[in-house]
């Protein structure tokens, strides 16, 4: 006889507060006459920035990207062969060097890192972004899966009861769905006001730079067998009806 089954989807959701911060520090040189000059100037600026950040934040994981150069253009007016007429065109007037340095640390260190990086003379722009670290992400994922499974079984029991049946053995558990990306707080600090703020003043101005909760969710598909409800004289074992045992003397 074919055993009736029921397939349900369990869902879970929770807010996870990011526990790590990644601070990106952009280095940009002034316009220089050649790509080679821009490359050399950017390499010097990167070295100074790395040395100072490593000294100020020895516990942070610091990495740097490769240096790139970019041609800078400007619009100029030139005279045409027609008397009294000019036309505009773009021409290269120099090159700039660019590089990105990143620091990763505990979220609590965000304000201090932004303060020291934002006041550094070689930093053009600072962008901190809060992320969920691997350990916390894994822990949260396991908890979400368990909650989704419990939700699926609760839903199955309710649906089975509405049909006059009970939930029997679990036949299969599907893979949980992927978690959506969390919301990461991003704060951009430009070097424009750097000349009027010290590192301590900038940190005080930033105040409590902390992450906002990131909403994560999961789904789990569960298939269960359905069994008849137990009679008043019968018991229920593990969600399955159990017929009364016969007496040995019968």
Residue spans of the domains in the chain: they are 1-17+134-181+213-250, 20-131
Closest of 130, 142, 134 to residue 187, by C-alpha: 130
Residue range 18-51, pLDDT digits in tens: 999 999 999 999 999 999 999 999 999 999 999 9
- Rounded CA separation 171/225 (Å): 7
The architecture of the domain spanning 20-131 is: 2-Layer Sandwich (3.30)
Percent of the chain predicted with pLDDT > 70 = 76
- Look at residue 240 and tell me whether its pLDDT is greater than 80: no
- Rounded CA separation 50/56 (Å): 10
Give yes or no on whether 1-17+134-181+213-250 and 20-131 have one common fold.
no
Q: What is the average pLDDT score of the chain?
A: 83
pLDDT confidence of residue 187: 53
Question: What does each C-alpha distance from 104 to 18, 21, 61, 193 come to in angstroms?
Answer: 13, 6, 5, 24
Quote the Cα angle for 103-104-109, to 5°. 95
Residue range 54-79, pLDDT digits in tens: 999 999 999 998 999 999 988 877 77
pLDDT confidence of residue 245: 40
pLDDT confidence of residue 89: 80
Under 8 Å between Cβ of 229 and 165 = yes
- Find the mean pLDDT for residues 132-146: 93
pLDDT confidence of residue 27: 96
3-state secondary structure of 71: strand
Quote the Cα angle for 243-248-250, to 5°. 85
- Rounded CA separation 183/131 (Å): 9
Determine the angle formed by the axes of helices 35-56 and 110-118, rounding to 10 degrees: 140
- Find the mean pLDDT for residues 209-215: 84
pLDDT confidence of residue 182: 44
Under 8 Å between Cβ of 6 and 224 = yes
pLDDT confidence of residue 205: 59
199 pLDDT band, cuts 50/70/90, is low
Supply 3's token pair: 């055993």
200 pLDDT band, cuts 50/70/90, is low
pTM exceeds 0.85, yes or no? no
- Helix or strand holding residue 137 (H, E): helix 134-162
- Find the mean pLDDT for residues 129-134: 91
Q: Which of 82-91, 128-137, 143-152, 162-171 has the lowest mean pLDDT?
A: 82-91
Q: Which of 30-34, 167-171, 213-217 has the lowest mean pLDDT?
A: 213-217
- Find the mean pLDDT for residues 81-86: 70
Residues with Cβ within 8 Å of residue 13, at least 6 apart in sequence: 144, 215, 216, 217, 218
CATH code for the part of the protein at 1-17+134-181+213-250: 3.30.110
243 pLDDT band, cuts 50/70/90, is very low
Percent of the chain predicted with pLDDT > 90 = 59
- Rounded CA separation 28/53 (Å): 17
Under 8 Å between Cβ of 149 and 220 = yes
- Look at residue 142 and tell me whether its pLDDT is greater than 60: yes
């Amino acid at each position: 006889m074919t055993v009736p089954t029921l397939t349900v989807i369990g869902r879970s959701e929770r807010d996870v507060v990011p526990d790590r911060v990644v601070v990106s520090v952009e280095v940009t040189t002034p316009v220089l006459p050649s790509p080679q000059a821009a490359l050399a100037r950017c390499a010097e600026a990167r070295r100074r920035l790395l040395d100072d950040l490593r000294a100020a934040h020895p516990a942070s994981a610091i990495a740097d990207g490769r240096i790139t150069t970019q041609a800078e253009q400007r619009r100029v007016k030139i005279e045409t062969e027609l008397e009294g007429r000019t036309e505009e065109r773009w021409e290269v007037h120099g090159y700039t060097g660019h590089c990105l340095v990143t620091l990763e640390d505990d979220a609590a260190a965000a304000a201090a890192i932004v303060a020291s990086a934002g006041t550094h003379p070689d930093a053009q722009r600072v962008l901190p972004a809060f992320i969920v670290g691997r350990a916390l992400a894994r822990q949260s994922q396991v908890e979400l899966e368990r909650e989704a499974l419990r939700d699926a079984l609760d839903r199955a029991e309710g649906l089975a009861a509405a049909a006059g049946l009970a939930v029997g053995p679990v036949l299969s558990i599907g893979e949980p769905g992927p978690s959506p990306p969390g919301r990461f707080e991003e704060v951009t600090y430009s070097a424009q006001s750097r000349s009027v703020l010290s590192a301590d003043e900038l940190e005080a101005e930033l105040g409590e730079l902390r992450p906002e909760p990131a909403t994560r969710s999961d789904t789990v598909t569960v298939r269960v067998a359905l069994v008849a409800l137990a009679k008043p004289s019968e018991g229920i074992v593990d969600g399955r009806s159990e017929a009364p045992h016969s007496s040995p003397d019968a």
